[in-house]
Protein backbone atom coordinates (compact mmCIF):
# COMPACT_ATOMS: atom_id res chain seq x y z
CA UNK A 1 0.00 0.00 0.00
CA UNK A 2 1.77 3.14 -1.20
CA UNK A 3 0.39 6.59 -0.55
CA UNK A 4 0.86 7.88 -4.12
CA UNK A 5 -1.55 5.12 -5.21
CA UNK A 6 -4.24 6.41 -2.83
CA UNK A 7 -7.08 6.06 -2.10
CA UNK A 8 -7.97 2.88 -4.04
CA UNK A 9 -5.46 0.72 -2.18
CA UNK A 10 -6.50 2.04 1.20
CA UNK A 11 -10.15 1.30 0.44
CA UNK A 12 -9.27 -2.25 -0.62
CA UNK A 13 -7.28 -2.71 2.58
CA UNK A 14 -10.08 -1.37 4.77
CA UNK A 15 -12.67 -3.57 3.09
CA UNK A 16 -10.81 -6.61 4.38
CA UNK A 17 -11.68 -5.73 7.99
CA UNK A 18 -14.22 -8.11 9.55
CA UNK A 19 -14.40 -6.00 12.74
CA UNK A 20 -13.29 -8.81 15.02
CA UNK A 21 -11.66 -6.37 17.46
CA UNK A 22 -8.37 -8.25 17.97
CA UNK A 23 -6.47 -5.05 17.18
CA UNK A 24 -8.12 -3.19 20.08
CA UNK A 25 -6.76 -5.34 22.86
CA UNK A 26 -3.41 -3.59 23.33
CA UNK A 27 -4.35 -0.20 21.88
CA UNK A 28 -3.21 2.38 24.49
CA UNK A 29 -5.59 5.11 23.34
CA UNK A 30 -8.52 2.69 23.63
CA UNK A 31 -7.36 1.58 27.07
CA UNK A 32 -7.20 5.23 28.06
CA UNK A 33 -10.58 6.35 26.73
CA UNK A 34 -12.60 3.10 26.43
CA UNK A 35 -14.12 4.67 23.31
CA UNK A 36 -14.49 2.63 20.13
CA UNK A 37 -13.66 5.70 18.01
CA UNK A 38 -10.22 5.96 19.57
CA UNK A 39 -9.44 2.28 19.14
CA UNK A 40 -7.55 0.72 16.25
CA UNK A 41 -10.74 -0.83 14.84
CA UNK A 42 -12.76 2.34 15.35
CA UNK A 43 -10.25 4.43 13.45
CA UNK A 44 -10.40 2.06 10.49
CA UNK A 45 -14.20 2.31 10.46
CA UNK A 46 -13.90 6.12 10.43
CA UNK A 47 -11.42 5.98 7.56
CA UNK A 48 -13.75 3.76 5.61
CA UNK A 49 -16.52 6.32 6.14
CA UNK A 50 -14.20 9.04 4.94
CA UNK A 51 -13.43 7.18 1.73
CA UNK A 52 -17.06 6.35 0.99
CA UNK A 53 -18.09 9.95 1.71
CA UNK A 54 -20.37 8.95 4.61
CA UNK A 55 -18.14 10.88 6.98
CA UNK A 56 -16.86 14.32 6.09
CA UNK A 57 -13.54 15.76 7.31
CA UNK A 58 -14.13 17.63 10.56
CA UNK A 59 -12.12 18.68 13.61
CA UNK A 60 -13.61 15.72 15.51
CA UNK A 61 -12.68 13.19 12.82
CA UNK A 62 -9.19 14.67 12.63
CA UNK A 63 -8.87 14.37 16.37
CA UNK A 64 -9.76 10.66 16.26
CA UNK A 65 -7.29 9.91 13.48
CA UNK A 66 -4.47 12.12 14.75
CA UNK A 67 -4.80 10.91 18.36
CA UNK A 68 -3.31 7.53 17.42
CA UNK A 69 0.19 7.07 18.84
CA UNK A 70 1.32 5.06 15.80
CA UNK A 71 2.82 2.81 18.47
CA UNK A 72 2.13 -0.33 16.41
CA UNK A 73 0.63 -2.35 19.29
CA UNK A 74 -2.19 -3.22 16.91
CA UNK A 75 0.15 -4.21 14.09
CA UNK A 76 0.50 -7.93 13.75
CA UNK A 77 -2.71 -8.56 15.73
CA UNK A 78 -4.97 -8.54 12.70
CA UNK A 79 -5.78 -12.04 11.42
CA UNK A 80 -6.25 -10.56 7.94
CA UNK A 81 -2.88 -8.86 7.95
CA UNK A 82 -4.17 -5.29 7.73
CA UNK A 83 -1.33 -2.88 8.41
CA UNK A 84 -3.28 -0.59 10.72
CA UNK A 85 -0.62 2.06 11.51
CA UNK A 86 0.05 2.33 7.77
CA UNK A 87 -3.66 2.78 7.06
CA UNK A 88 -3.78 5.52 9.69
CA UNK A 89 -0.78 7.26 8.08
CA UNK A 90 -2.69 7.16 4.79
CA UNK A 91 -5.73 8.64 6.50
CA UNK A 92 -3.62 11.45 7.95
CA UNK A 93 -2.19 12.26 4.54
CA UNK A 94 -5.76 12.53 3.22
CA UNK A 95 -6.86 14.72 6.13
CA UNK A 96 -3.80 16.93 6.49
CA UNK A 97 -5.19 19.77 4.33
CA UNK A 98 -8.37 20.02 6.35
CA UNK A 99 -6.60 19.65 9.69
CA UNK A 100 -6.18 23.18 10.96
CA UNK A 101 -5.54 22.09 14.57
CA UNK A 102 -2.03 20.86 13.83
CA UNK A 103 -1.10 23.58 11.33
CA UNK A 104 1.42 25.16 13.71
CA UNK A 105 2.96 21.79 14.50
CA UNK A 106 3.41 21.16 10.78
CA UNK A 107 5.18 24.48 10.34
CA UNK A 108 7.47 23.68 13.27
CA UNK A 109 8.14 20.13 12.00
CA UNK A 110 8.89 21.42 8.51
CA UNK A 111 11.31 24.04 9.82
CA UNK A 112 13.10 21.85 12.39
CA UNK A 113 13.54 18.90 10.04
CA UNK A 114 14.81 21.12 7.22
CA UNK A 115 17.16 23.22 9.37
CA UNK A 116 17.80 21.10 12.48
CA UNK A 117 21.09 22.78 13.48
CA UNK A 118 19.57 26.25 13.31
CA UNK A 119 16.34 25.13 14.99
CA UNK A 120 18.06 23.52 17.95
CA UNK A 121 20.39 26.50 18.26
CA UNK A 122 17.37 28.78 18.45
CA UNK A 123 15.70 26.49 20.98
CA UNK A 124 18.82 26.46 23.09
CA UNK A 125 19.04 30.26 23.01
CA UNK A 126 15.38 30.58 23.91
CA UNK A 127 15.58 28.01 26.68
CA UNK A 128 15.11 30.50 29.52
CA UNK A 129 12.32 32.56 27.96
CA UNK A 130 10.39 31.03 25.07
CA UNK A 131 10.25 27.44 26.28
CA UNK A 132 8.91 28.33 29.77
CA UNK A 133 6.32 30.53 28.05
CA UNK A 134 5.24 27.68 25.72
CA UNK A 135 5.15 25.32 28.69
CA UNK A 136 3.00 27.75 30.69
CA UNK A 137 0.61 27.98 27.74
CA UNK A 138 0.53 24.14 27.67
CA UNK A 139 1.85 24.13 24.13
CA UNK A 140 4.69 21.82 25.14
CA UNK A 141 4.39 19.14 27.84
CA UNK A 142 7.79 19.75 29.42
CA UNK A 143 10.91 21.84 28.99
CA UNK A 144 13.65 19.71 27.50
CA UNK A 145 17.17 20.03 28.79
CA UNK A 146 19.76 20.78 26.16
CA UNK A 147 23.25 19.41 26.49
CA UNK A 148 26.01 21.95 26.92
CA UNK A 149 27.96 20.67 23.96
CA UNK A 150 25.93 19.54 20.96
CA UNK A 151 28.65 17.46 19.43
CA UNK A 152 32.37 17.72 19.29
CA UNK A 153 34.25 18.11 16.03
CA UNK A 154 32.18 15.52 14.23
CA UNK A 155 34.40 13.41 12.10
CA UNK A 156 33.02 11.36 9.27
CA UNK A 157 35.12 8.28 9.94
CA UNK A 158 36.11 6.81 13.30
CA UNK A 159 38.76 4.20 12.68
CA UNK A 160 39.58 1.30 14.96
CA UNK A 161 43.01 -0.17 15.54
CA UNK A 162 41.55 -3.57 14.62
CA UNK A 163 39.78 -4.23 11.32
CA UNK A 164 36.79 -6.33 12.20
CA UNK A 165 34.33 -4.55 9.95
CA UNK A 166 32.69 -1.31 8.99
CA UNK A 167 29.33 0.12 10.03
CA UNK A 168 27.46 3.38 9.53
CA UNK A 169 25.48 5.24 12.17
CA UNK A 170 22.22 7.04 11.45
CA UNK A 171 22.20 9.49 14.34
CA UNK A 172 18.65 10.83 14.18
CA UNK A 173 17.57 14.29 15.37
CA UNK A 174 16.96 13.53 19.05
CA UNK A 175 20.29 11.79 19.58
CA UNK A 176 22.22 14.37 17.62
CA UNK A 177 20.75 17.38 19.38
CA UNK A 178 19.50 16.18 22.77
CA UNK A 179 21.61 13.13 23.62
CA UNK A 180 24.88 13.45 21.68
CA UNK A 181 26.69 11.49 24.41
CA UNK A 182 24.75 8.39 23.30
CA UNK A 183 26.26 8.61 19.84
CA UNK A 184 29.70 9.04 21.34
CA UNK A 185 29.12 5.97 23.49
CA UNK A 186 28.06 3.94 20.46
CA UNK A 187 31.14 4.97 18.47
CA UNK A 188 33.30 4.15 21.47
CA UNK A 189 31.79 0.65 21.85
CA UNK A 190 32.00 -0.09 18.13
CA UNK A 191 35.62 1.07 17.89
CA UNK A 192 36.46 -1.00 20.94
CA UNK A 193 34.94 -4.05 19.24
CA UNK A 194 37.10 -3.38 16.18
CA UNK A 195 34.59 -1.67 13.89
CA UNK A 196 35.28 1.36 11.79
CA UNK A 197 32.38 3.77 12.16
CA UNK A 198 31.07 6.06 9.42
CA UNK A 199 28.85 9.05 10.17
CA UNK A 200 27.64 9.74 6.62
CA UNK A 201 27.44 13.38 5.56
CA UNK A 202 24.25 14.84 4.19
CA UNK A 203 21.72 12.68 6.05
CA UNK A 204 18.48 14.38 7.03
CA UNK A 205 15.65 13.64 9.46
CA UNK A 206 14.26 10.15 8.78
CA UNK A 207 10.91 11.83 8.07
CA UNK A 208 8.86 10.09 10.77
CA UNK A 209 7.63 13.30 12.49
CA UNK A 210 6.47 14.66 9.13
CA UNK A 211 4.69 11.46 8.22
CA UNK A 212 3.02 11.42 11.62
CA UNK A 213 1.50 14.79 10.75
CA UNK A 214 0.28 13.61 7.35
CA UNK A 215 3.04 15.45 5.43
CA UNK A 216 3.62 12.57 3.08
CA UNK A 217 5.33 14.41 0.21
CA UNK A 218 7.86 15.96 2.55
CA UNK A 219 8.62 12.69 4.33
CA UNK A 220 9.04 10.98 0.94
CA UNK A 221 11.58 13.66 -0.03
CA UNK A 222 13.54 12.97 3.21
CA UNK A 223 13.38 9.22 2.49
CA UNK A 224 14.79 9.65 -1.03
CA UNK A 225 17.61 11.84 0.22
CA UNK A 226 18.64 9.38 2.96
CA UNK A 227 18.37 6.39 0.64
CA UNK A 228 20.57 8.06 -1.95
CA UNK A 229 23.32 8.24 0.68
CA UNK A 230 22.84 5.11 2.79
CA UNK A 231 22.33 2.62 -0.01
CA UNK A 232 25.63 3.63 -1.62
CA UNK A 233 27.67 2.73 1.45
CA UNK A 234 29.61 -0.49 1.75
CA UNK A 235 28.88 -1.28 5.39
CA UNK A 236 27.79 -4.31 7.38
CA UNK A 237 24.96 -2.43 9.02
CA UNK A 238 23.37 0.98 9.42
CA UNK A 239 22.88 1.35 13.17
CA UNK A 240 20.61 3.69 15.04
CA UNK A 241 20.00 4.37 18.72
CA UNK A 242 16.42 5.39 17.96
CA UNK A 243 13.92 2.61 17.14
CA UNK A 244 11.69 5.06 15.28
CA UNK A 245 14.53 5.93 12.90
CA UNK A 246 15.37 2.25 12.39
CA UNK A 247 11.74 1.33 11.79
CA UNK A 248 11.32 4.17 9.34
CA UNK A 249 14.48 3.36 7.35
CA UNK A 250 13.86 -0.36 7.26
CA UNK A 251 10.10 -0.82 7.19
CA UNK A 252 8.41 2.43 6.27
CA UNK A 253 10.63 3.55 3.38
CA UNK A 254 9.68 0.49 1.29
CA UNK A 255 6.00 1.41 1.76
CA UNK A 256 6.70 5.05 0.92
CA UNK A 257 9.15 4.85 -1.96
CA UNK A 258 9.46 1.16 -2.82
CA UNK A 259 12.82 0.48 -1.18
CA UNK A 260 14.37 0.78 2.24
CA UNK A 261 17.67 0.43 4.05
CA UNK A 262 17.78 -3.33 4.30
CA UNK A 263 20.72 -3.46 6.67
CA UNK A 264 19.28 -0.86 9.06
CA UNK A 265 19.47 -2.39 12.51
CA UNK A 266 18.86 -1.65 16.14
CA UNK A 267 22.12 -1.63 18.09
CA UNK A 268 20.96 -4.55 20.25
CA UNK A 269 20.61 -6.84 17.23
CA UNK A 270 24.09 -5.94 16.02
CA UNK A 271 25.89 -5.97 19.35
CA UNK A 272 24.26 -8.76 21.33
CA UNK A 273 26.24 -11.71 19.98
CA UNK A 274 29.47 -9.71 20.02
CA UNK A 275 29.51 -9.19 23.77
CA UNK A 276 30.95 -11.62 26.30
CA UNK A 277 29.26 -11.94 29.70
CA UNK A 278 30.77 -9.49 32.17
CA UNK A 279 31.25 -10.00 35.90
CA UNK A 280 28.10 -9.60 38.01
CA UNK A 281 27.81 -5.96 39.00
CA UNK A 282 25.57 -6.62 42.00
CA UNK A 283 23.02 -4.16 40.59
CA UNK A 284 19.49 -4.47 39.29
CA UNK A 285 17.66 -2.96 36.34
CA UNK A 286 14.16 -2.79 34.99
CA UNK A 287 13.86 -2.62 31.20
CA UNK A 288 11.30 -0.48 29.40
CA UNK A 289 10.36 -1.69 25.88
CA UNK A 290 10.04 1.16 23.36
CA UNK A 291 6.90 0.53 21.26
CA UNK A 292 8.63 0.86 17.89
CA UNK A 293 11.29 -1.61 18.96
CA UNK A 294 8.89 -4.12 20.48
CA UNK A 295 5.94 -3.95 18.12
CA UNK A 296 7.48 -2.39 15.03
CA UNK A 297 10.73 -4.32 14.85
CA UNK A 298 9.77 -7.27 17.06
CA UNK A 299 12.81 -6.87 19.31
CA UNK A 300 12.43 -7.74 23.00
CA UNK A 301 14.98 -10.47 23.69
CA UNK A 302 18.25 -8.85 22.61
CA UNK A 303 18.23 -5.78 24.89
CA UNK A 304 17.36 -7.96 27.89
CA UNK A 305 20.15 -10.40 27.09
CA UNK A 306 22.59 -7.52 26.80
CA UNK A 307 21.60 -6.17 30.21
CA UNK A 308 22.12 -9.60 31.75
CA UNK A 309 25.44 -10.03 29.94
CA UNK A 310 26.53 -6.67 31.29
CA UNK A 311 26.19 -8.20 34.76
CA UNK A 312 22.93 -6.62 35.92
CA UNK A 313 20.00 -8.54 37.31
CA UNK A 314 16.76 -7.81 35.45
CA UNK A 315 13.83 -7.36 37.78
CA UNK A 316 10.43 -5.73 37.70
CA UNK A 317 7.34 -6.12 35.56
CA UNK A 318 7.92 -7.05 31.91
CA UNK A 319 4.82 -5.22 30.72
CA UNK A 320 4.55 -1.54 31.63
CA UNK A 321 2.69 -0.23 28.58
CA UNK A 322 3.54 2.71 26.39
CA UNK A 323 5.26 5.66 28.10
CA UNK A 324 3.04 8.05 26.11
CA UNK A 325 5.84 9.87 24.29
CA UNK A 326 4.96 9.15 20.65
CA UNK A 327 6.94 12.10 19.25
CA UNK A 328 4.40 14.68 18.18
CA UNK A 329 1.74 12.83 20.23
CA UNK A 330 3.10 14.10 23.57
CA UNK A 331 2.62 17.67 22.33
CA UNK A 332 -0.75 17.31 20.62
CA UNK A 333 -2.34 14.90 23.13
CA UNK A 334 -0.86 16.07 26.39
CA UNK A 335 -3.57 14.81 28.72
CA UNK A 336 -3.54 11.29 27.27
CA UNK A 337 0.24 11.28 27.07
CA UNK A 338 0.50 12.22 30.76
CA UNK A 339 -1.98 9.54 31.80
CA UNK A 340 -0.05 6.87 29.89
CA UNK A 341 3.20 8.12 31.43
CA UNK A 342 1.76 7.92 34.94
CA UNK A 343 0.54 4.35 34.40
CA UNK A 344 3.87 3.29 32.92
CA UNK A 345 5.82 4.91 35.76
CA UNK A 346 3.64 3.22 38.36
CA UNK A 347 4.52 -0.14 36.81
CA UNK A 348 8.21 0.70 36.63
CA UNK A 349 8.24 1.78 40.26
CA UNK A 350 6.85 -1.58 41.37
CA UNK A 351 10.46 -2.68 41.28
CA UNK A 352 13.13 -1.10 43.39
CA UNK A 353 15.73 -1.43 40.69
CA UNK A 354 18.93 0.58 40.68
CA UNK A 355 18.28 1.81 37.15
CA UNK A 356 15.68 1.97 34.42
CA UNK A 357 17.07 1.00 31.03
CA UNK A 358 15.46 1.58 27.68
CA UNK A 359 16.55 1.70 24.04
CA UNK A 360 14.94 4.90 22.82
CA UNK A 361 15.86 8.58 23.29
CA UNK A 362 12.16 9.53 23.15
CA UNK A 363 11.30 7.13 26.00
CA UNK A 364 14.25 8.56 27.96
CA UNK A 365 12.91 12.09 27.55
CA UNK A 366 9.47 11.05 28.70
CA UNK A 367 10.46 8.75 31.58
CA UNK A 368 12.92 11.28 32.95
CA UNK A 369 9.92 13.50 33.73
CA UNK A 370 8.55 11.12 36.35
CA UNK A 371 11.24 8.60 37.23
CA UNK A 372 13.30 10.81 39.49
CA UNK A 373 14.44 8.29 42.10
CA UNK A 374 16.91 6.43 39.85
CA UNK A 375 18.71 7.02 36.58
CA UNK A 376 17.02 6.31 33.26
CA UNK A 377 19.69 5.10 30.88
CA UNK A 378 19.90 4.16 27.25
CA UNK A 379 21.17 0.61 26.78
CA UNK A 380 24.31 1.90 25.04
CA UNK A 381 25.29 3.82 28.18
CA UNK A 382 25.30 0.60 30.18
CA UNK A 383 27.24 -1.19 27.46
CA UNK A 384 29.86 1.54 27.24
CA UNK A 385 30.21 1.68 31.02
CA UNK A 386 30.61 -2.10 31.25
CA UNK A 387 32.78 -2.88 28.27
CA UNK A 388 34.82 0.26 27.65
CA UNK A 389 35.68 1.59 31.08
CA UNK A 390 37.43 -0.03 33.96
CA UNK A 391 40.24 -1.31 31.74
CA UNK A 392 43.06 1.08 30.98
CA UNK A 393 43.28 0.64 27.25
CA UNK A 394 43.91 3.04 24.43
CA UNK A 395 40.20 3.52 23.75
CA UNK A 396 39.67 4.84 27.25
CA UNK A 397 42.63 7.15 26.90
CA UNK A 398 41.34 8.28 23.50
CA UNK A 399 37.93 9.02 25.02
CA UNK A 400 39.48 10.98 27.86
CA UNK A 401 41.51 12.96 25.36
CA UNK A 402 38.40 13.87 23.36
CA UNK A 403 36.53 14.86 26.51
CA UNK A 404 39.23 17.18 27.79
Among 28, 141, 327, 362, binds ligand SF4 (CB under 6 A): 28
Q: What residues numbered 85-144 form the site for ligand SF4, per CB under 6 A?
A: 85
Out of 84, 186, 205, 242, point to the residue binding ligand SF4 (CB under 6 A). 84
Q: Based on CB atoms, which residue is closest to ligand SF4, 39 or 240?
A: 39
Distance of closest approach, residue 15 Cβ to ligand SF4, in angstroms: 10
23 touching ligand SF4, by CB under 6 A: yes
By CB under 6 A, is residue 49 in contact with ligand SF4?
Answer: no
Q: Which of 69, 173, 199, 249 binds ligand SF4 (CB under 6 A)?
A: 69
Q: What is the dihedral of CA 135, 136, 141, 146, to 10 degrees?
A: 30
Closest contact distance (angstroms) between CB of 40 and ligand SF4 is 4
Q: Which stretch binds ligand SF4 (CB under 6 A): 26-34, 110-118, 141-149, 205-213?
A: 26-34
Closest Cα to residue 371, out of 342, 398, 402?
342
Q: How far apart are CA 367 and CA 286, in angstroms?
A: 13
Instruction: Please report, for residues 92, 145, 147, 249, 289, the alpha-carbon distance to residue 263 in angstroms, rounded to integers and kept in the order given.
Output: 29, 32, 30, 9, 22
Which residue, 80 or 143, is less far from ligand SF4 as judged by CB?
80
Looking at the Cβ atoms of 82 and 230, the one nearer to ligand SF4 is: 82
Which of the ranges 76-84, 266-274, 348-356, 390-398 carries the binding residues for ligand SF4, by CB under 6 A? 76-84
Give how far Cα 337 sits from Cα of 67, 92, 370, Å: 10, 20, 12
Judge contact between 299 and 247, C-beta under 8 A: no
Least Å distance, CB 139 to ligand SF4, is 22
Cα separations (Å) of 155 from 144, 201, 223, 381?
Answer: 27, 10, 23, 21
Of 51, 78, 256, 379, which one interacts with ligand SF4 (CB under 6 A)? 78
The DSSP bridge pattern shows strands 283-288 and 237-240 to be unpaired
Please tell me the distance from the alpha carbon of residue 134 to that of residue 59, in angstroms, as a whole number.
23
The least distance separating ligand SF4 from the CB of residue 36, rounded to whole angstroms, comes to 11
User: Is 40 one of the binding residues for ligand SF4 (CB under 6 A)?
Assistant: yes
- Residue 213 within binding range of ligand SF4, rule CB under 6 A: no
82 binds ligand SF4 (CB under 6 A): yes
The window from 66-74, 213-221, 229-237, 313-321 that contacts ligand SF4 (CB under 6 A) reads 66-74
Q: Let me know: does 341 contact 370? Beta carbons within 8 Å.
A: yes
Q: In what order do the strands lie in the sheet with 165-169?
A: 157-158, 195-198, 165-169, 237-240, 264-266
Burial category of 359 from C-beta neighbours within 10 Å (exposed 0-12, middle 13-18, buried 19 and up):
buried
Which residues of this chain interact with ligand SF4, rule CB under 6 A?
A: 17-23, 27-29, 40-41, 43-44, 68-74, 77-78, 80, 82, 84-85
Amino acid sequence: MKIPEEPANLEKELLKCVRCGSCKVLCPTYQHSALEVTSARGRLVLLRGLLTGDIKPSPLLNERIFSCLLCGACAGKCPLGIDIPEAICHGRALLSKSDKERKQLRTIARFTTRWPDLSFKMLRMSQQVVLPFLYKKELIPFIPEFPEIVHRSRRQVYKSSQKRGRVAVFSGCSVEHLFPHLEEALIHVLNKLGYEVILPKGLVCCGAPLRTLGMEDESVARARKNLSILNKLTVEAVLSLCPTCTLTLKTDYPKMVGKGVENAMDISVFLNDKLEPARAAGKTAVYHDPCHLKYGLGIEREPREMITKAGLELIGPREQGCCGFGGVFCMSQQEMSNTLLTACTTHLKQSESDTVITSCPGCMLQLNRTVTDRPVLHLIELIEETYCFGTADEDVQEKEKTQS
